[in-house]
Structure 1
Amino acid sequence: MVTQSGKLVQAIALQNQGDWATAARLFREILEDEPSNGAALYSLAVIALNQGDPAEGLAYCERGTRAAPHFAPLWFAQGSLLQTLGRRQEALASYDQALAIQPDYVEALVNSGALLRDLLRHQDALARFDRALALNPDYLPALANSAILLTEFKQGEQAIARFERLLQLNPGYDYGPGLLLYEKMHCADWNGFESARAAIVEGIRAGRKVCKSLAFMALSDSASDQFLCARLFAHYYCPPPGPPLWRGERYTHDRIRLAYVSPDLREHPVGHLMAGVFEHHDKSRFETFAISLGPDDGSRLRGRMVQAFDHFIDARALGARQIAEQMRAMEVDIAVDLAGYTSDSRIEIFAHRPAPVQVNFLGYPGTLGVGFMDYLLADRQVIPPEHQPFYSERVAYLPDCYLPTDASIAIGPTPTRADCGLPDTGRVFCSFSQDYKISPPLWAVWMRVLAQVPDSVLWLASRGDTNRRNLQAAAQAQGIAPGRLVFAGRVPRVEDHLARYRLADLFLDTWPYNAHSTAADALMAGLPVVTYMGGAFPARVAGSLLHAIGMPELIATSLDGYADLIIELAHAPTRIAGLKERLRTERGHWPLFDTARFCRNLELAYASMLSQGY
């Protein structure tokens, strides 16, 4: 006769072997004799979770936490199930209860840390990952999650060390090579760059999870490879969760219900680009909804956006399913995702299909590689018609440029060179793009430019001391005095930031990931932009901007051509002055800086999508 303990051991063994049906039968038999057996209730909850039935699993957990309240795994399982159901605050409370019972519960520390990160409580999340690593320094999920958070806190050297340890322990850790190289690029740590980049490209082509799609945009200028990477990432990151919430119903609203979903409705580049668009929507035709996933930073920009929408919904605390259900209940006609796979995005909301028409726009410059996004808004420069096969969405073309600008911004007074740490004389080449967009091939071009334009300086934005030290060393290695690099600090007002561009002679674009909102800012402030227009969406944005203002002569089609064009212009001050004069005097005539016109064209595109969507 098998004892209860023997049956439990047998059931657990069967569960570990994947024979869930037999294991569940044995666990239920145990409960018939011992209704409060915490291990059996826990195992049945886990089996239900694995079989895609979180509601049944939660019922076992609720029964178990009443019967065996001091059995920490039941609280952990309950937290996992509640998290799956999108009940995030309740999930956190369950994890906390598990940790109160068992403070060294590493899995609970990591799961709750990931949940805290989703709730934008990043400092608390990092503390939990660090507690887990104190208990087990080689616990892979804690290493990976803590390293990612350290990148957000701009603690690059610590993040790199943890990524390197992660890959030492498991060279095949999902996306590990890309995570490491991406952070090294943020720090301008280019040791082994080319071999690491080549290995990542090879891995993507072989279908391996070696790099997330956003990071890959800074490594590849191939539209086809970026499509492969996006599809691979999407397959694992956001598979369709089940039956869609919208199932073909026809709505009969007086106005088109238009929802924008974003974590960046605040002081953020996307917020700056879209604020004027939100304000210009025709409220007689469109009822507008904001689904805000990010923090309320209390900024002027946030205040503008709250006022611009008919309905502004702070959805930070809600799970993806809850948000999607709310959008379906509001009968949203068109749902626009403004974030894609960028920081704090929630593309899984759209996987639930809450709206008849779902659109990928602006915040992420490429395809999402999924089947549940219907359209991608673009222009014919960033996505030439022959590139459409590299996009899972249908491409909806805007007539001028896909990138909006906010014409209402009044640029502040121009500071002096001394105010900005610039020399009194000599050419100033400016590139305020994010640091990860600078790679060794691009850097070599810039150093060639400085070598051939005496007394010139390169004016950069930088996020930290490590980046600055490494860039200075990289300049020195190519024979350029580190003092010819000038680093811009942050200023609190966007109006004052834009005013600084007027001190530069040329804006040097990055490649293969162009400046996007930054290039638009430079042009708006009257600074000519020189770009290398490459093959994939991220490498074609600045070229699109220049086409939209009739300055295609500032577009190069190779790195060598890019360098030659910069040097040629640097030695032609009259040409630079002429370009600046055109930017100053003709700005009011270009569609790029006409927010109202952009919004009208956007509304026409939305109306066309909706007519086809039904």
Structure 2
Amino acid sequence: MSVTSRCRCFGRAEKVFLLTLSLLVMDMRSLSTSAQHNQHPGQQHGQVLSAETLRQCSNLVHQAVDAGSKGDMATARERLEQSVVLCPNDPTALGNLGYIYAVSGDAMRAKDLLQRSLGSQSNVPEPWVNIGNVLKNEQDENPLPVEEKDMSLVRRCYQTALRLQADQMDALANMAGLSAMDRDWERTAVLAERSLAIGPSEEAFCALMKALDNTCAWYHPRRDLATLFRLLEAKAREAVARPSIGLISRMCYNAGTAALITDLPPELSLLVSRGEMAIVNSNITRLPQQGLGWSLLPGERVKLAYVSGHFLDHPMMQMMKGMFRLHDTTRVHVICFATSQSDNSPLRQSAEESCEEFYDVHQQSDRQVALSINGHNPQLLVNLYGFLDKSRNGIAAHSPAPVQLNHRWCASTGAPWIHVHVTDKHTSPPEFRHLYTERLSIMARTYLVNDHVHSYPSPADGPAWMR
């Protein structure tokens, strides 16, 4: 295994953006062609290196791999630098060292080493894996939602590595991770199993566990819960202790997946939620507190704001569309903020017509949306995200309202800025109260609002099972 596939768990690429720009303009095909005219890794200044020197270089690289897998990046870099001195054209040592410089923020040095790695021998897969890892790190640091991140060049690098060596373990594992991001679970499982058949890989293991859980293959022989729990706990504790946006992609499971796995210990689910929210919070600058308060003049209505990415033809709106139009407008002023672009569906139209004020803010950053909400001075903000897809929990993390509620999500958010969790006694039994960081608002029947009464006003108008 190359050092880089493990290094991604230990460093943060704070300045990889500069490196990425330089790599984007590289003509990789010309590099591959020109490599034929470069020296062989076993040559130095036209002279063939001795077998002993090559053996020393190989040992140093293996020592670097061992140090990197244990988180000792200083030793890993030292061993790789020693290897590059002895074997200046070794693509594996050059590529791994380039990746280490990239994640430490030295973009210029990293670019030089990665270019030398490809130029030395571009028909070796490891340099392509290293460059793919660097580009992926840059995307991991990007605060955009996962579905908006551009992984095309990352994918191209891994695919090139696999064309050169069909059983390259790290490329298979990383391609499995990309397929999991695309929710292509069948391909994820195939790639992950191919990687794991070659050797152990955290990336491949996590990708396979996601694929198995999302396809309900709970009794698959490779579904190793003990290892999964151990990894989840380690990553969540790391996120709580040293949160950074780049850790999101390395959490193995996100909090949404963790909460929905029935055999995951609830304490671990809460820890994963806290870890994810700690990462969200690490990128937040709190809004000024002026304008936040709970004071109503005589006759003034409560301002109630909703923020969601699902004001669309989505199960949330299918169930909740009646709720927005049934607010008592003599007491409540409803303002809705949509963080997804309109799909022009009847449900989107219903939301726009049911809220007194409706704002499409999908092009705004989390902070800009929070400022927009705060500018309306609401007393209450209902966060209709939890850890669903299209979630943007960074908005509520800015604390744009004095009281903020979590609704539509079945478990605790683990976020100190969410004050109230809307639930019921069946979803949140009293004996599990300690697993919530929020105060519980217990609904009489169910927290899960639905619109069946208005969608099917009489049994004759409803589906066959209602008749």
TM-score (norm: length of structure 1) = 0.45
Q: Does 1:131 align with 2:161?
A: no
Aligned amino acid, residue 293 of structure 1:
T
Equivalent residues in 2 for 1:295-444, closer than 5 Å: 295-362=341-408, 364-406=409-451, 407-410=453-456
Q: Does 1:213 align with 2:239?
A: no
Q: Deviations over 1:328-354 (max 9, x none)?
A: 122122111111111110001111111
Q: d(CA) in 2 for partners of 1:238 and 1:143?
A: 29
Is the Cα contact below 8 Å between 1:177 and 1:196 reproduced in 2? Answer: no
Aligned to 1:284: 330
Is the Cα contact below 8 Å between 1:245 and 1:325 reproduced in 2? Answer: no
Aligned to 2:180: 148
Aligned amino acid, residue 201 of structure 2:
P
Aligned amino acid, residue 340 of structure 1:
G
Q: CA 1:129–1:229 in structure 2 vs 1: closer, same or farther (change >3 Å)?
A: same
Aligned to 1:118: 145
> SS in structure 1 opposite 2:182?
helix
Q: What is the aligned counterpart of 2:269 among 216, 223, 226? A: 226
Aligned amino acid, residue 156 of structure 2:
R
> SS in structure 2 opposite 1:301?
helix
Q: Deviations over 1:457-513 (max 9, x none)?
A: xxxxxxxxxxxxxxxxxxxxxxxxxxxxxxxxxxxxxx9xx73xx4xxxxxxxxxxx
Q: What is the aligned counterpart of 1:201 among 229, 232, 248? A: 229
> SS in structure 2 opposite 1:378?
strand
Give, in angstroms, the shift of residue 248 of structure 1: 7.5
Aligned amino acid, residue 181 of structure 2:
L
Give, in angstroms, the shift of residue 243 of structure 1: 3.3
Give the count of matched residue pairs. Answer: 318
Q: CA 1:340–1:141 in structure 2 vs 1: closer, same or farther (change >3 Å)?
A: farther
Q: CA 1:280–1:178 in structure 2 vs 1: closer, same or farther (change >3 Å)?
A: farther
Equivalent residues in 2 for 1:536-575, closer than 5 Å: none
Give, in angstroms, the shift of residue 205 of structure 1: 5.2
Q: CA 1:178–1:231 in structure 2 vs 1: closer, same or farther (change >3 Å)?
A: farther
Q: d(CA) in 1 for partners of 2:277 and 2:357?
A: 30
Q: d(CA) in 2 for partners of 1:161 and 1:240?
A: 35
| Structure 1 residue ranges without an equivalent (≥5) | 1-16, 21-37, 43-75, 77-103, 415-494, 503-524, 527-583, 585-614
Q: What is the aligned counterpart of 2:305 among 245, 259, 262? A: 259
Q: d(CA) in 2 for partners of 1:316 and 1:161?
A: 35
Q: CA 1:248–1:374 in structure 2 vs 1: closer, same or farther (change >3 Å)?
A: farther
Q: d(CA) in 2 for partners of 1:389 and 1:296?
A: 39
Is the Cα contact below 8 Å between 1:240 and 1:351 reproduced in 2? Answer: no
> SS in structure 2 opposite 1:408?
helix
Is the Cα contact below 8 Å between 2:307 and 2:338 reproduced in 1? Answer: yes
Is the Cα contact below 8 Å between 2:303 and 2:380 reproduced in 1? Answer: yes
Give, in angstroms, the shift of residue 375 of structure 1: 0.7
| Structure 2 residue ranges without an equivalent (≥5) | 1-10, 23-101, 103-129, 163-169, 238-250
> SS in structure 1 opposite 2:441?
strand
Q: Deviations over 1:206-237 (max 9, x none)?
A: 65644322222224264333223322333335
Q: d(CA) in 2 for partners of 1:319 and 1:312?
A: 17
Q: CA 1:211–1:337 in structure 2 vs 1: closer, same or farther (change >3 Å)?
A: same
Is the Cα contact below 8 Å between 2:422 and 2:443 reproduced in 1? Answer: yes
Aligned amino acid, residue 355 of structure 2:
F
Q: d(CA) in 1 for partners of 2:302 and 2:369?
A: 19
Aligned to 2:214: 186
Q: CA 1:182–1:298 in structure 2 vs 1: closer, same or farther (change >3 Å)?
A: same
Q: CA 1:282–1:169 in structure 2 vs 1: closer, same or farther (change >3 Å)?
A: farther
Q: CA 1:170–1:296 in structure 2 vs 1: closer, same or farther (change >3 Å)?
A: farther
Is the Cα contact below 8 Å between 2:291 and 2:377 reproduced in 1? Answer: no
Aligned to 1:157: 186
Q: CA 1:183–1:141 in structure 2 vs 1: closer, same or farther (change >3 Å)?
A: closer
Give, in angstroms, the shift of residue 144 of structure 1: 6.4
> SS in structure 1 opposite 2:224?
helix
Is the Cα contact below 8 Å between 2:192 and 2:208 reproduced in 1? Answer: yes
Q: CA 1:293–1:412 in structure 2 vs 1: closer, same or farther (change >3 Å)?
A: farther
Identity of aligned residues (%): 21
Is the Cα contact below 8 Å between 2:338 and 2:360 reproduced in 1? Answer: yes
Is the Cα contact below 8 Å between 1:293 and 1:314 reproduced in 2? Answer: yes
Q: CA 1:271–1:383 in structure 2 vs 1: closer, same or farther (change >3 Å)?
A: same
Equivalent residues in 2 for 1:511-530, closer than 5 Å: 525-526=465-466
Is the Cα contact below 8 Å between 1:120 and 1:294 reproduced in 2? Answer: no
Q: CA 1:227–1:128 in structure 2 vs 1: closer, same or farther (change >3 Å)?
A: same
Q: d(CA) in 2 for partners of 1:171 and 1:237?
A: 27
Q: CA RMSD in A?
A: 4.0
Is the Cα contact below 8 Å between 1:119 and 1:316 reproduced in 2? Answer: no
Q: CA 1:202–1:130 in structure 2 vs 1: closer, same or farther (change >3 Å)?
A: closer
